């Protein structure tokens, strides 16, 4: 289990898969602006859920943050993982246990086999049985208690209805449906399914293999291939919105896709997925879920409630993002909650473990406050007057050491410029010291535990040279 974020007192002054106060700037980047910091932390305590009794002040919902990975493959049930030197499903569990994760989803491709596999068992983690659903579009169908249809069989107008039916079936069997790597050029989410639960905005390392982006030609090709264009069906408007982002790779397009949903009034949390096939351990990136209990039901309910954020690794930056809407000094509103509109609300961001980086508060896709992170624990307090439909989220960036940028960064960027996967793989291997290779976990290939600074480079924000993506939160909404 990871270290827990320290909380500020209630009253505050002022690639796992190697082969495949400033305003006006977009949430993808821009330079940092100076702001205020505060110090002084105490150990966090969990308070009763649902507010207080009688006329006392409102309190945050009871629970705790848990770390895990919602996207992991095994050679037992995923053919491509088997071809690539992946591991049996029991070994994949041991790797995740070694990383200290609280939960892990088994999401092998287009199979219900994980639901009954006796080797998918752990004494230390909550295991979520599921699959990576689909063919032309992928999703994490996670937590369902019985088999569901593994992919689509229809085209054109019938395809849209079929996807909606499958989502409903996953829900009826207790699971959640997560749109996986939605802006992968070959797996674009060109339909807009009804009632899905989350979007995998961060898949594997931010820029190691996700430096490419999809184009109008990719969108047109998938619409044609699925018979949607021939049926006169328009593409998912949020995918069209993501097409406007052509500067930061497919990961940033996934952010644009997600933010388009938020701007339309949909309350959609984000999650991350390591998409492990081999080599790297799970939790690259890590999904944090605030849950009432450390159980399957608790984790799934936390995702449904929108109480999520994603960090670069299990030991990456920690974020505590809350709001005080009634001015009593108690930050009772958590990620996933809604605050009042039309009056001043105080937002508080506490970032741990990103010294030298940057923290941005984002409102409806625009950075409204940005400042350097100073010290191991950094506090930012911002007063805002939300309007109905507004939403606020947090980005945390980590500084990439200059020597890593000069050495490995030049090689990686040069390889990315070729557009060739083999060149990117070679550049990554050139940065891996022998000490980073672990053979003690019984994996088919050595497990690569990258030095943290190299991992930062593989998560570089392409619109913010010199900064790695450290963490991204789901929103706090305005009602």
Q: How many domains does the chain have?
A: 1
CB atoms inside a 10 Å sphere around CB 391: 21
Question: Which residues, including other chains, have CB under 8 Å from residue 477's CB and lie 6 or more apart?
Answer: 267, 337, 338, 339, 390, 391, 392
Assigned domain for 40 exists: no
Q: What pLDDT score does 209 carry?
A: 80
Beta strands in 228-387 (DSSP E): 270-273, 286-291, 308-311, 318-324, 338-339, 345-352, 358-363, 366-372, 377-384
Residue with tokens 């339309």: 264
| ω into 285 cis (within 30 of 0) | yes
Assigned domain for 197 exists: yes
Check if the beta carbon of residue 469 is closer than 8 Å to that of residue 455. Answer: no
Task: Calculate the dihedral angle through the C-alpha atoms of 368, 374, 376, 378, rounding to the nearest 10 degrees.
Answer: -40
pTM: 0.89
Assigned domain for 387 exists: no
Q: What pLDDT score does 56 carry?
A: 60
Q: What pLDDT score does 369 carry?
A: 98
Task: Calculate the dihedral angle through the C-alpha atoms of 362, 364, 366, 371, rounding to the nearest 10 degrees.
Answer: -10
CATH at residue 195: 3.20.20.140
Assigned domain for 259 exists: yes
Range of the domain at 193: 64-311
Long-range pairs for 407-415 at CB < 8 Å and ≥24 separation? 407/431, 408/454, 408/457, 409/457, 409/460, 412/208, 412/457, 412/458
Assigned domain for 331 exists: no
Assigned domain for 398 exists: no
Question: Which residues, including other chains, have CB under 8 Å from residue 232's CB and lie 6 or more apart?
Answer: none
Assigned domain for 298 exists: yes
- pLDDT one digit per residue (tens) for the chain, 479 residues: 434 443 333 323 233 333 333 334 445 443 333 333 332 222 222 232 233 334 467 888 999 999 999 999 999 999 999 999 999 999 999 999 999 999 999 999 999 999 999 999 999 999 999 999 999 999 999 999 999 999 999 999 999 999 999 999 999 999 999 999 999 999 999 999 999 999 999 999 999 888 889 999 999 999 999 999 999 999 999 999 999 998 889 999 999 999 999 999 999 999 999 999 999 999 999 999 999 999 999 999 999 999 999 999 999 999 999 999 999 999 999 999 999 999 999 999 999 999 999 999 999 999 999 999 999 999 999 999 999 999 999 999 999 999 998 888 888 889 988 888 889 888 888 888 999 999 999 999 999 999 999 999 999 998 898 999 999 999 999 99
Assigned domain for 133 exists: yes
Q: What pLDDT score does 32 carry?
A: 34
User: Cα–Cα distances in Å, from 262 out to 87, 357, 392, 477?
Assistant: 38, 26, 10, 9
Check if the beta carbon of residue 71 is closer than 8 Å to that of residue 16. Answer: no
Q: What six digits make up the tokens of 264?
A: 């339309």
Q: Rounded CA gap, 439 and 28, in Å?
A: 38
Rounded to a whole number of angstroms, the distance between the first and last alpha carbons of the chain is: 35
Closest CA to 321 of 356, 301, 345: 345
Task: Calculate the dihedral angle through the C-alpha atoms of 363, 289, 281, 205, rounding to the nearest 10 degrees.
Answer: -10
Over 164-182, what HEC string results?
Answer: HHHHHHHHHCCCEEEECCC
């Amino acid at each position: 289990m990871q270290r827990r974020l320290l909380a500020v007192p209630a009253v505050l002054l002022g690639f796992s898969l190697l082969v495949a106060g400033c305003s006006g700037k977009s949430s993808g980047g821009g330079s940092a602006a100076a702001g205020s910091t505060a110090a002084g932390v105490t150990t966090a305590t969990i308070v009763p859920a649902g507010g207080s009794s009688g006329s006392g002040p409102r309190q945050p919902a009871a629970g705790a943050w848990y770390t895990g990975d919602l996207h992991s493959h095994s050679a037992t049930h995923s053919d491509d993982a088997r071809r690539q030197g992946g591991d049996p499903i029991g070994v994949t569990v041991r790797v995740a246990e070694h990383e200290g994760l609280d939960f892990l989803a088994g999401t092998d491709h287009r199979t219900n086999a994980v639901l009954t596999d006796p080797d998918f068992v752990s004494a230390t983690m909550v295991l979520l049985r599921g699959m990576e659903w689909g063919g032309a579009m992928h999703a994490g169908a996670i937590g369902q208690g019985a088999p569901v249809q593994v992919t689509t069989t229809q085209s054109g107008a019938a395809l849209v209805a079929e996807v909606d039916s499958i989502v409903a079936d996953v829900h009826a069997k207790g699971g959640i449906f997560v749109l996986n790597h939605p802006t992968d050029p070959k797996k674009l989410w060109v339909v807009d399914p009804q009632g899905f639960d989350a979007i995998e905005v961060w898949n594997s390392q931010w820029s190691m293999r996700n430096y490419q982006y999809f184009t109008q030609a990719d969108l047109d090709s998938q619409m044609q291939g699925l018979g949607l264009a021939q049926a006169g069906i328009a593409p998912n408007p949020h995918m069209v919105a993501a097409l406007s982002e052509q500067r930061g790779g497919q990961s940033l397009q996934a952010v644009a896709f997600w933010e388009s949903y938020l701007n339309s009034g949909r309350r959609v949390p984000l999650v991350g997925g390591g998409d492990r096939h081999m080599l790297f351990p799970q939790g690259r990136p890590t999904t944090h879920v605030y849950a009432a209990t450390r159980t399957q039901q608790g984790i799934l309910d936390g995702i449904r409630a929108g109480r999520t954020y994603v960090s670069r690794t299990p030991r990456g930056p920690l974020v505590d993002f809350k709001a005080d809407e009634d001015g009593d000094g108690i930050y009772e509103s958590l990620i996933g909650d809604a605050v009042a509109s039309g009056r001043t609300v105080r937002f508080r961001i506490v970032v741990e473990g990103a010294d030298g980086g940057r923290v941005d508060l984002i409102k409806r896709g625009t950075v409204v406050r940005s400042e350097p992170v100073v010290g191991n624990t950094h506090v930012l307090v911002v007063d805002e007057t939300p309007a109905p439909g507004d939403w606020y989220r947090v980005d945390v960036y980590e500084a990439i050491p200059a020597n890593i940028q000069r050495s490995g960064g030049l090689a990686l960027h040069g390889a990315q410029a070729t557009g060739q996967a083999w060149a990117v793989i070679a550049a990554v291997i050139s940065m891996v010291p022998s000490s980073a290779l672990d053979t003690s976990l019984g994996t088919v290939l050595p497990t690569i535990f990258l030095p943290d600074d190299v991992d930062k480079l593989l998560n570089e924000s392409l619109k913010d040279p010199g900064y790695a993506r450290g963490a991204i939160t789901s929103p706090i909404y305005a009602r």
